[in-house]
Structures are given as C-alpha cells and as structure tokens.
A = this chain, B = another copy of it.
Amino acid sequence: MAPLSQQMQQLSETCSHCSLRYLCLPDHLDSHDLEKLERLVDSGAPVLAETELFAQGEGLTHIYAVRNGSAKTVRIDEEGFEQILGFYYPGDILGFDGFADQHHHCSAVALETSHFCRIPVDQLDALVDELPSLRQRLVRLMSQVLSEDGRMMLTLGRKDSEGRISSLLLGLSRRRALRGMPASSVPLNMKRADLANFLSMRLETVSRVLTRLQRAGVIKVSQNRVDILDRDALRERSSRGAWVADQS
C-alpha cells in the first residue's frame, strides 16, 4: 500500500514529474532535452496480467518503460525451449534487444495489471541523433543490461538452488530499495513456475528451498510475498554453495 501521493507521482503524465526519472531514460537529460523526449512518450491504458506487450519475432515499433506494476520477458529458442530472461519493475526499459535487427527477440508479458510508457522507436531514433545526452543515456542503459546478464550467467552456472533463490531475493530487494520501496518485504508477483524457469530449477525445488530458508529463520514466506528477516544470512547463503572454477 503505497501512499496515495506516491501513486499519483508515479502516474504523472510527464517524465519531468515522474518519480522514476532518475532510474529511467530521462536521467542525465537537461530540462530542455527532457521536454522533447516527453513528447514521444505515450502512457496508454492499463495492461492486464498475462497480456503481451510485444511478441518475439514481431517488428520493433516501440520500446516500453514500466510505469507501475511488473513484467517478464520470455524467449523461445530454435529448439522450442522457453526461457524467462528477466523481471521488470517501474523504471526498467523493455525492448532493447530489438535494436539488433529491428525485431524483438523475446516476448514481454505483464505479470499483473500494469502501466507502461510506450516510446515509438523511429521517433526515438531521430531524437537520439539530435540529442547526444540521450544517446549516451541509451548506451549506458544497454550496457548496464549487458553487465547484469553477466552476473546472471554466473548465478545460473555456479550457484546451487539455495544460492540462486537467495541471489534472486536479494536482487529483487535491492531493486526495491533503488525505487524507494520497503526492501525487506519483497512481493513475488510471478508464479513459482516463472521463478523456477528463470532460475533454471524445477518448481518443486523452488518450493523446497523457500521453506528451507523459512525454517532456518532467514525469510518469512506468505504466498506471494517474502519478508527478509536476516539479510546477512541470506547474503551468506547466496554465495555459499557456489563452486570455484578450476584455474586456467
């Protein structure tokens, strides 16, 4: 339950007044440039849970910023396997991977009823040519994703189930903190199957690990929400069990 004032702020139509401007595209833009960006943004109707924002293979027409709510991106690879690539929260941008060849390489789906800012790519493209600050911002955001992907590969490759869950929870918590939301109470808006898919575990294992962590007094689980009781213990578990690579 965020206070009403905060909700209003987040839903404000203009980037300049958006509480997320320092996380999102607008960061580092001066008010003049920001105004131009603002004019591109279309904050449309609410998107219902399970609704696709864009589909894999589709042409790239817009990128999206999460305004409120949450989303996931899913890719189905050549062999038909489905992989959740990430979860997205207010201020995050969806659609960067489409710039490669002007087609989306994954689908984006709302996890709950959410609002998104739609930004038409062609106009953004033109504006980027005009505003060096915007280009830099864009490159930085993409580069950030790259470096987060690296971290994720490490998690998937090196950590055991407990480490993966712990890392995920800490990550979600950290991202809440960035947004000024209570970091010790993390809502799991996605289903267990989504978590399992994302972390490359079976959902039974997700369940087991969550209860194990609960029994150990590290977290408190209640269906769609996890309270972090002992952050240090969680941190400890997120790296314990990760195995060290052989020396080259």
Contact = CB atoms under 8 A, between A and B. Distances in A.
A125 B85 CA distance: 30
A138 interface: yes
A194 B142 contact: no
Interface stretch (A148-156, A177-185, A225-233): A148-156
Interface residues of A, number: 57
Contact of A100 (B106, B146, B152, B196): B146
A132 to B, nearest CB: 5
Interface in A148-194: 149-154, 156-158, 190-191, 193-194
Interface in A114-153: 125, 128-129, 132, 135-136, 138-140, 142-147, 149-153
Contacts of A145: 146
A235 to B, nearest CB: 9
Interface of A: 75, 77, 79, 81-83, 85, 96-101, 105-106, 125, 128-129, 132, 135-136, 138-140, 142-147, 149-154, 156-158, 190-191, 193-194, 196-197, 199-200, 202-203, 238-239, 242, 244-248
